[in-house]
Structure 1
Amino acid sequence: MRIGVLDVGSNSAHLKIVDLAEGRPPRTVATLKHPTRLAEAIDPDGTIGEEAVCRLVGAVGQAACTAALHGVDELVAFATSAVRDATDRDEILARVADRTGVELGFLTGGQEATLTFHAVRAWYGWSARRLLVMDIGGGSLEIAAGDGREPDVALSLPLGAGRLTRKHLPGDPPDPERVRRLRRHVRRKLAATAGPFAGDLDGRAPGTLPVATSRVLTQLAVLGGAPKPRKGPYERRVLHRSRLRAQIDDLAGMTAAERAELRGISAPRARQILAGAIVAEATMTALHVKRLEVCPWALREGIIMHRWQMMADPAARERAPLPASPRPRSHLHAVPMVSEAHA
């Protein structure tokens, strides 16, 4: 079975196409990444700007074409918080479906946290007895923990790096007082939401492996000296809380352009990397975590593992259904990437 997983996030749309066969590991056939930059285009009223919607339509159209060219049997297409929380979400979904033939679905924050946990469990296996997983996206922070295949706790908080940058750090560089207020805001939100689960989320619990996923946390680890992504997924990467604390002050005094010159920091995430660092440091402190292992698998791989599991256990679909789009129509080969921008 060949499936494609299309993840439309706050910064980019990622497509991963894999072959699944019972008893064999997933085999990657093709990947595609296209920028959307939705996080920076959300207006004060919660709508997404026209240019960003055009980029979104183009990215989904390109992904659908690629999926069709590779003969996928199923395309799982979903959007995370940037589109899910937009006030004009329904109009955006209708436009994407009309132009590309792809119907974007949604996952709840809890589902995102759970599926990311599945991916991390699959990567580390049972040698990691208990996992504590953190994922910082553009719109939300996901935390999950447990010692089984399913997490005991799966939380989603509105503490994404893009969301916080847009609401709390408008300057370039930001005003120092705004940075201080954001740090207090993040600590309060963590205490209110994650506090009741303190026992389940304690990184000091015996046998716990604290793990980071997401580009934000990976780039912060590289900034702190971890191997760059081009070294491959099997290189060990660790994010240290002590180094992160020192980095926050440095990042706060830089412009986005200056941050983009730093080791490991990409230009698309340079503006929001400060907020990501603030969330990472505050979360690690709240959960008593000194270091995080960086896992190369995350939400997309969690969905792939879910589909792989369904091949052996079809009842899994009923227990945890996921959004799926119909197979891309053949006419999608003709969808031009610039058609929406010039319509």
Structure 2
Amino acid sequence: MRLGVLDIGSNTVHLLVVDAHRGAQPLPAYSHKAEMRLAEHLHDGDTLSTQGERELRRFIEESLRIAEDKGVEDIMAFATSAVREASNGEDVLGRLRDATGVDLQVLSGQDEARLTFLAVRRWFGWSSGRLLVVDIGGGSLEIASGVEEAPDVAVSLPLGAGRMTRRWFTGDPPPAVEVRDLRRQVRAQIGRVVGDVVKYGRADHAVATSKTFKQLARIAGAAPSAEGPYVRRTLSHKNLSNWTERLTSMTNAQRAGLPGVSSGRAPQLLAGAIVADATMDLFELGELEICPWALREGVILRRLDGMPGT
């Protein structure tokens, strides 16, 4: 069947159309997305602004028209940290549901971690043993570990690249004191959960997902996306640490000139690198392998698992 997945993230809003059948690999058929940066529309006590709600409604309505044109039979719609943390999120979701008919499901941080873990497990298979999966989004960092399709432990921390950039950096590039303060805060928060994760056992295979990790791997020498999803891509902690240091003195325009980095994502790259570097260091990870599947694929797979067998 042809499914539509409407993903309302903190940075990007995305409609992915896939041909999916139970027991088969979901095949992307069409993609429509925009860098709405919804989290930047949170004002006055984390209230989603009228403009943010208006832009979100416009995107949903446009996505519904596209989905109809592409022959989509069913749409799954979900939202992550930006809507989850909006003080008026429920009211906004109710108005959007009344206006568009789309029932956006808000995922918890742990839901995000579990569904992303499922996607990674299906991609790499059982031979990977114990997986450790890390994902840096716009609003949060997800960490999950386990030997089954459901992780033993799933953690979500408010350490997303966009959130950290907005809350800690004032300059372009940011002053050294702000970089140090962010580094200290990030490491303190991650350090609190390391024991909760590793007590289940050390990972046989450490994996990263998300746009942030893909961009960091690309600037560190990984193959470009044009070479396809089956090319093995990795990010070493040594290379990441070197690039994190280099990024601290680069302007947003200079970061946007790096391979694989868009102008919209460039301002968040340094904060994302600081979070990634801290994660690899505190979990003692020498290398991460980049997985092309993440949360959206996890949502699709869970939907297919619930379908009657054929």
The interval holding the TM-score normalised by the smaller chain is over 0.9
Distance 2:26 2:52 in 1: 33
- AA aligned to 1:235 is V
Counterpart in 2 of 1:329? none
**Range that drifts further, 252-261 or 288-297:** 252-261
TM-score by length of 1: 0.85
Once the two structures are superposed, the pairs formed by residues 100-139 of structure 1 within 5 Å of their partners are 100-139=100-139
Is 1:250 the counterpart of 2:269? The answer is no
C-alpha distance in structure 1 between counterparts of 2:161 and 2:44, whole Å: 17
CA distance 1:231–1:274, change in 2 (3 Å): same
1:8-36 superposed Cα distances (whole Å, 9 cap, x missing partner):
11111111222333443323332221221
Given residue 229 of structure 1, which amino acid in structure 2 is its aligned partner? Answer: S
The residue number in structure 2 matching 1:71 is 71
The aligned residue for residue 216 of structure 1 is: 212
Q: Does structure 2 conserve the Cα–Cα contact (< 8 Å) formed by 1:161 and 1:272?
A: yes
In 2, are the aligned partners of 1:201 and 1:287 still within 8 Å (CA)?
no
- 8 Å Cα contact 1:119-1:299 kept in structure 2: yes
Deviation beyond 4 Å, 4+ runs, structure 1: none
Cα deviation for residue 158 of structure 1 reads: 0.7
**CA distance 1:44–1:169, change in 2 (3 Å):** farther
Instruction: Give 1:82-231 correspondences, 5 Å limit.
Output: 82-200=82-200, 202-203=202-203, 208-231=204-227
TM-score by length of 2: 0.94
CA distance in 2, matches of 1:262, 1:286: 27
1:264 to 253, 260, 263: 260
1:42 and 1:65 map into 2 onto residues whose CA distance is: 27
Amino acid at match of 1:251: L
The superposition leaves residues 43-73 of structure 1 with CA deviations (integer Å, 9 ceiling, x where unpaired) of 2521233433332222222212222223333
How far 1:127 moved relative to its partner?
2.1
* Aligned positions of 1:38-49 closer than 5 A: 38-43=38-43, 45-49=45-49
SS in 2 for 1:267: coil
Q: Partners of 1:84 and 1:201 in 2: how far apart?
A: 31
Q: Which runs of 5+ in 2 are unaligned?
A: none
Q: CA RMSD in A?
A: 1.8
Q: Secondary structure at the match of 2:229?
A: coil
Alpha-carbon distance in structure 2 between the residues aligned to 1:100 and 1:127: 44
**Residue identity matched to 2:304:** W
How far the C-alpha of 1:166 sits from its partner, in A, is 1.0
The farther-off stretch of 224-233 and 192-201 is 192-201
Q: Distance in 2 between matches of 1:303 and 1:108?
A: 13
* Other-structure match for 1:15: 15
Deviation at 1:234, TM superposition (A): 1.1
Letter of the 1:51 partner, please give it: Q
Q: Which amino acid aligns with 1:79?
A: A
Question: 1:122-168: per-residue Cα shift (whole Å, max 9, x none)?
Answer: 11112212211000000000111111121111111111111111111
- Return the offset for 1:105: 1.1
Q: Secondary structure at the match of 1:288?
A: coil
Q: In 2, distance between residues paired with 1:171 and 1:234? A: 39
Asked if the contact 1:224–1:243 (Cα under 8 Å) also holds between the matched residues in 2, the reply is: yes
Distance 1:201 1:94, change over 3 A: farther
Distance 2:163 2:256 in 1: 19
2 CA distance for matches of 1:196 and 1:26? 33
* CA–CA separation in structure 2 for the residues paired with 1:36 and 1:226: 27
Q: How does 1:231-250 map to 2 (within 5 A)?
A: 231-250=227-246
AA aligned to 2:5 is V
> Residues of 1 paired with 2:3 and 2:41: CA distance?
31
Distance 2:16 2:306 in 1: 18
1:241-269 CA distances to partner (integer Å, 9 max, x unpaired)?
11111111221112212211112211111
Equivalent pair of 1:139/1:163 in contact (CA under 8 Å): yes
CA displacement, residues 178-221 of structure 1 (integer Å, 9 cap, x when unaligned): 11011010111011233333323634xxxx11001000000000
Q: Matched residues in 1 for 2:201 and 2:247: separation? A: 28
8 A contact 2:145–2:197 mirrored in 1: no
Is this contact kept in 1: 2:133–2:207, CA < 8 A?
Answer: yes
Correspondence 1:5 to 2:9? no
Q: Which consecutive residues of structure 1, in runs of 5 or more, have no partner in the other structure?
A: 315-343
Greater relative CO (CA pairs within 8 A, separation 6+): 1
